[in-house]
Structure 1
């Protein structure tokens, strides 16, 4: 889960990942005074807060607000210091438009996120939403939930996540060297999967391939227990409704 913090009144040329991280760190300590310092882990573009009781990890993403472009701002890369333009409200609208277009989109994303959590797949929520949106664009919205979830897994397994994923909203496609490229639909220069390593890409593909085989067997054999292997022992049919 990502939470974007917009920092206003700051100049992007005067800030860095370190300075923003320090501001966010200080804010987190004030907001969560009872949490141990070790619970806050600075990552490449975010600070992660781990809630031990629920097992929930929240990525706190600091963004310097662009006063001339509503909703837009810049986030910094921890390693190379580069700035990436982003627009969280625009990304939310993109996903909402897909939900409005496809009544099952929300359910499919929920299933995919539950699968991700159960098998410990290193995909972020927004990655899943964009992959699902791409599969919707390619395959359409026909078919059962079971088939369409299998199609989501099959796309990852067959493509190896080595295809550039773009959307009609994108006007240009820059060159990227990252192992996985999913273009931000609201900002052509932002690869939202830039933090995924090559080893993680291979792991995601392996998990999707194995899970597709399980899901395919569960669908043809009607074995409900196999679905629990994908979604967890507590999964019920109503959870997919």
Structure 2
């Protein structure tokens, strides 16, 4: 048999791609230590300025790769007590985080453009703490300050997690694993072909969610992946992607080359920073992946099929 079937792809993902459960628990445990200290400080000091913290990002969604070494934490800030000047918010947050700890130095709280990175010296783990301005809205709705424009961006960490979790319940663990495999493919493109290649993980998650909602079967990885890349090539990423989990009202298709609307905030196009050149890079990479998968399906030798799959998964894949 020459065709690469579901089983070796799933085995490769289990061995090389997926973050082991024990590691995920350990990572979350370290972040929980910070969360517990923040919760204690919030409870003890009404003037502290913070409301709560929530796990966020790929580890919280179970879409993280095995090689992950940084986690995300959303910290909700009382909007009325945040600095009036947005440029002061991250340094202010760094000071608040430092105040809540007893065994860390101030320089372990590194101020970035839009977050504070907490460096754990023992484990080497980094935690990106993102401030969310909270005005008392339900469902942990708050407002990010956009990285490049300074605009307020409505969001909800909890609803984003629920969005992925609900589809995991509906479509199974394959939904999460296909996201991880695609993120692994993206990494191969960056490391082996184009170091400037961009394909935001959130976009990958939302495209898979859209395809799953449209009825694409996820239990056969080669077929599902071929469908993913074929969809990108055939649509040219010109189709507006929307979700009705939290709203039924959407803006008309705008002029952005790619338009994938945030399920929590339909006014937010998560692909707004991609120009035509960036879109074409994704189309080219997806086209190459689709061609490789098609060739693998009709390969007359096992070696040829493995070579094709190595275009997606890298040279460590042996079939």
Which residue of 244, 253, 259 corresponds with 1:181? 259
Structure 1 pair 158–72 and aligned structure 2 pair: CA distance change class (3 A): same
Preserved CA contact (<8 Å) 2:310 2:317: yes
Preserved CA contact (<8 Å) 2:82 2:89: no
SS at match of 1:166: coil
Which residue of 165, 170, 186 corresponds with 1:96? 165
Q: Deviations over 1:43-92 (max 9, x none)?
A: xx6678999xxxx9976543212323231110122443321100111111
Alignment TM-score, normalising by the size of structure 1: 0.78
Matches within 5 A, 1:47-86: 61-86=130-155
1:177 is displaced (CA, Å) by 3.8
Matches within 5 A, 1:1-241: 3-11=72-80, 15=84, 17-23=86-92, 42=113, 61-103=130-172, 104-120=174-190, 121-141=197-217, 144-169=220-245, 170-175=247-252, 176-221=254-299, 222=302, 223-235=305-317
1:131 is displaced (CA, Å) by 0.3
Give RMSD over aligned pairs.
3.5
Preserved CA contact (<8 Å) 1:17 1:77: no
Higher mean C-alpha deviation, range 111-120 or range 176-185: 176-185
Preserved CA contact (<8 Å) 1:74 1:83: yes
1:96 is displaced (CA, Å) by 1.2
In the alignment, structure 1 segments of 5+ residues that lack a partner are none
Distance 1:69 1:46 in 2: 23
Distance 2:127 2:274 in 1: 17
> Which structure has the greater CA radius of gyration?
2
In the alignment, structure 2 segments of 5+ residues that lack a partner are 1-56, 59-71, 191-196
SS at match of 1:193: coil
Q: Deviations over 1:140-180 (max 9, x none)?
A: 32662101111111111222222110013231112444332
Preserved CA contact (<8 Å) 1:16 1:76: no
Structure 1 pair 63–140 and aligned structure 2 pair: CA distance change class (3 A): same
Preserved CA contact (<8 Å) 1:6 1:63: yes
Distance 1:46 1:132 in 2: 28
1:17 is displaced (CA, Å) by 4.5
Higher mean C-alpha deviation, range 154-163 or range 26-35: 26-35
Q: Deviations over 1:122-147 (max 9, x none)?
A: 12222111100111122432662101
Alignment TM-score, normalising by the size of structure 2: 0.61
